[in-house]
């Protein structure tokens, strides 16, 4: 299902969840520093870069596109941390990947168009910063340790086939991890 808005097309899965993708962008493989961007709605608050998937777009492609647009970075896309469901105000289902940053643009789409900023945070500090206004985003970082277990950490495959990787659905309404 699709819903059209000016300048964007929102896509929904069969259960009515908005399809989204995001990346935790790390400075290096240690994953101890994460890049956050300023919110477009609340410029004094920090968020994890991500957004809606385009029609026919794979989650990993959408995640890479969104971080390029919102944070002005490119990098090596890593494992899928999980698929996070947010059901309280709007039904979102967000595929969250890791990305090791290899290139940072001086000026990028959202910095020019809306004045978006970016900043490196120690992972523990980022959890605290996000917890107050974006607890769902803080949960992405909390699941980071869990994802280091091989059964929970498939690498993104851009090819579509019937042998889709095992992934984890993480609900932000208090339920535990569900295997899918």
**Could you give the residue numbers annotated as active site?**
69
Contact between 178 and 115 under an 8 Å Cβ cutoff? The reply is: no
Shortest CA distance to 75 belongs to which of 32, 28, 31, 141?
28
- Degrees (nearest 5) of the Cα angle 133, 53, 19? 65
Cα 73 to Cα 143: distance, rounded to the nearest angstrom: 23
Contact between 81 and 143 under an 8 Å Cβ cutoff? The reply is: yes
Shortest CA distance to 79 belongs to which of 129, 163, 126, 144?
144
How many residues make up the chain in this entry? 180
Whole-angstrom CA distances from 169 to 73, 78, 93, 162 are 26, 17, 9, 19
């Amino acid at each position: 299902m699709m819903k059209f808005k000016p300048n964007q097309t929102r896509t929904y899965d069969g259960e009515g969840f908005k399809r989204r993708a995001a990346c935790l962008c790390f400075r290096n493989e240690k994953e101890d520093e994460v890049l956050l961007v300023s919110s477009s709605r609340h410029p004094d608050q920090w968020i994890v870069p991500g957004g809606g998937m385009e029609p026919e777009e794979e989650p990993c492609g959408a995640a890479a596109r969104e971080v390029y647009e919102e944070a002005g970075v490119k990098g090596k896309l890593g494992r899928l941390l999980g698929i996070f469901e947010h059901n309280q105000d709007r039904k979102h289902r967000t595929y969250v990947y890791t990305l090791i940053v290899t290139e940072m643009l001086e000026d990028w789409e959202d910095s020019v168009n809306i004045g978006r900023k970016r900043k490196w945070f120690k992972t523990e500090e980022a959890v605290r910063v996000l917890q107050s206004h974006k607890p769902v985003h803080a949960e992405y970082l909390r699941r980071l340790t869990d994802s280091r277990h091989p059964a929970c950490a498939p690498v993104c495959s851009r090819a579509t086939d019937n042998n889709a990787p095992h992934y984890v659905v993480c609900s932000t309404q208090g339920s535990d991890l569900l295997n899918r």
